[in-house]
Amino acid sequence: MSQLFTPAAFRGLTLRNRLVVAPMCQYSAKGGLASDYHFAHYARFALGGFGAVIVEATAVSPEGRITYGDLGLWSDDHVAPLARIAAFLRTQGTAAGIQLAHAGRKASSPIWWRGRFDETEEEKAQVGFESWTPVAPSALPQVPDSAEYQVPTALTAQGMSTVRSAFVAAARRAEAAGFDFVELHSAHGYLLHQFLSPVANRRDDEFGGSLANRMRFPLWIARAVREVWPAHKPLFVRISAQDGIEGGWTVEDSVTYAKALKEIGADLIDVSSGGFAGGRIPVGPGYQVPLSRAIKHEADVPTSAVGLISRAREAQEIVKDGDADLVALGRTALDDPNWPLHARHELEAPGDAYAAWPRQSGYVVRHKDQALRLRSFAEA
């Protein structure tokens, strides 16, 4: 069996393989509620053979949404539609995860495929348009003098306590919805990353200045979530390993942060990068894999690699070489929800990879391939 398709265990959870669908915002919720669209969107990845699916950034409070179209988990009303998704994923042997998030100063921004606020008055009612003033570590906007990003309000001690309580409540609701693991969003220029990076954190209290101070609030959140999240269920944390900005957050900082998260009880670090305006990070196939390798080996913690990984043998080598424990696919999964099934044919031929397909379709795909002399039948 290919190493990519060996099980991976984290606490009481065992993933059937090493392939994960990365959390990808759909900006298609109204009032934070998951809809039939979200169910269909996530269900296809379970049918496609992924070991785990992480539901997109789900706001722990209304003001924590990136856009008005984000999913939410600040109310008990959000639990049932998310529970429906988690339950279906498990029926297909796929672990269900959810990313808990707060956008901080990047909140109340435009829907990404719009790029700007161009909703008509009639459309605003249909899509559930809302606008609000974001909060952040410091009163610094994501982009100065921007129509898309507001100047945030700097969080007070009481405000930070409120955010912590929101993460705790959301984690409890994630458990009520039946998720197998949660992932804290501590990357991509959102609130927890804003506290970590001197790019966004200019505080002069115990939550700003030194690296230890800047890590204090994110670690406070992580510790609080770990305390209420069931002990047998894993906690993942997504980080941006570097800002790509001079004087910003670095890989060395990330190693220190990852070690502290491990001590708290985090089970895996999901390694990404960037998130602040002006960041310069060279992009190419598997461009973040070296970051995962550094965190995994220097912090001695399991990692997930992500970022323009699209070829089966590339993903296989990442696991085989010890660069990561899991491989997360984002845009590649959107392009091909059946990617794990297709990869299995490539990596494990001439074995019976058709058995990995859902029983309702595997046998007819096999007959199709046999008739057309495809895959394992190509040389027959």
What single letter denotes the amino acid at residue 120? T
User: Choosing from 68, 149, 190, 257, which is the catalytic residue?
Assistant: 190
Q: Which one, of 228, 214, 222, 233, lies nearest residue 264 by Cα? A: 222
Angle 30-36-39 from CA coordinates, rounded to 5°:
110
Q: Which one, of 317, 315, 258, 323, lies nearest residue 292 by Cα? A: 323
Q: Is 190 a catalytic residue?
A: yes
**CA 68 to CA 127: how far, in whole Å?**
8
- Close Cβ partners of 61 (under 8 Å, ≥ 6 residues apart): 72, 74, 102, 162, 163, 166
Q: What residues act catalytically? A: 190
